[in-house]
Every structure is written in C-alpha cells, then in structure tokens.
Structure 1
Amino acid sequence: MKDVKAKVRAHDAIVGVLYLISVGLTLYTQNLNFLWIAVAVGGLQLISPATKFCPVYFILNKMMPDSEPIQDGK
C-alpha cells in the first residue's frame, strides 16, 4: 500500500507541474497555444477512469515494477 501512495503522489506532482508549465509558458510568452498542454492533460484525466489507462501511471508502473500497477488498462 505504501508504494501505491508514492505512485499516486508522483502522478499528482507530475500532472500539477504540467499544468503550471502550461500556464507559466502562456503568461511568459503570451502565446495562448501553450494552454493546449493543460487542455490535453485535463482531457486525459477525464477519460482515464473510463479507459483505465493513464500515460503517467503507465510510465510510473514501468519505473516501479515491484509495486502494484495502477490504471494499467485492465
């Protein structure tokens, strides 16, 4: 259970950083196209419960093979 909590925290941190990068780049460059990063991440978060697949968890599952897989598409 400890590994699952670490994986969930890592997922939340990665997704949060992607949102901050998107907003930061938009504010810094004043190019609204960088907001598409936030839209894509949000879209993936919305469909992941239905598809049971999350790209971030896919990578974390590969990086932490000894832990219980989360949202591995099964």
Structure 2
Amino acid sequence: MKNNHAKVRAHDAIVGVLYLISAGLTLYTQNLNFLWIAVAVGGLQILSPLTKFCPVYFVLNKMMPDTEPLQDGK
C-alpha cells in the first residue's frame, strides 16, 4: 500500500466537501431538495464496500496512477 494515504485523505476531503455543500445549500436556500446530495453520497458510501466500486476512488485512481488502486471493483 504505497502512497495510498494521500488518496484516502483526498477521498475523505472530497466526500466531506460534498456533505458540507449539501448542508450549506440547504441552509442558504431553505430548499430541502439539496439534502438529496447528502443522501446520494451516503448511499454510495454504504454500497461501496459491497460493490467494491466508488466513483471518487475511480477518479482518484486515474489521477494518481503511481499508487495502488483502491475500490476498483476487484
């Protein structure tokens, strides 16, 4: 597992930002439909261990080819 710490931290940061964007847009616009962003991200996080696929890791695996692939569906 070489250099995967940066990939895991990037994943956590991206997911955290998506949650904050969802909450912020909901509070700012008072439109509860923005909570669906958080629901979708949470659903993907729940399904990720079962399917062994994560869209964020898919992109990060392409952007960081010198690291070991994580959650690549294998």
What TM bracket, shorter-length normalisation?
Answer: over 0.9
Mapping of residues 1-74 of structure 1, within 5 Å: 1-74=1-74
Runs of 4+ in 1 over 3 A off after TM superposition: none
Look up the equivalent residue of 1:37 and give its one-letter code. Answer: I
Look up the equivalent residue of 1:3 and give its one-letter code. Answer: N
The alignment covers a number of residue pairs equal to 74
CA RMSD of aligned residues (A): 0.7
**CA distance, structure 2, for counterparts of residue 60 and residue 54 of structure 1:** 10
**Larger relative contact order (C-alpha < 8 A, sep ≥ 6)?**
2
Identity %: 86
- Which consecutive unaligned segments of at least 5 residues does structure 1 have? none
- Which consecutive unaligned segments of at least 5 residues does structure 2 have? none
Look up the equivalent residue of 2:29 and give its one-letter code. Answer: T
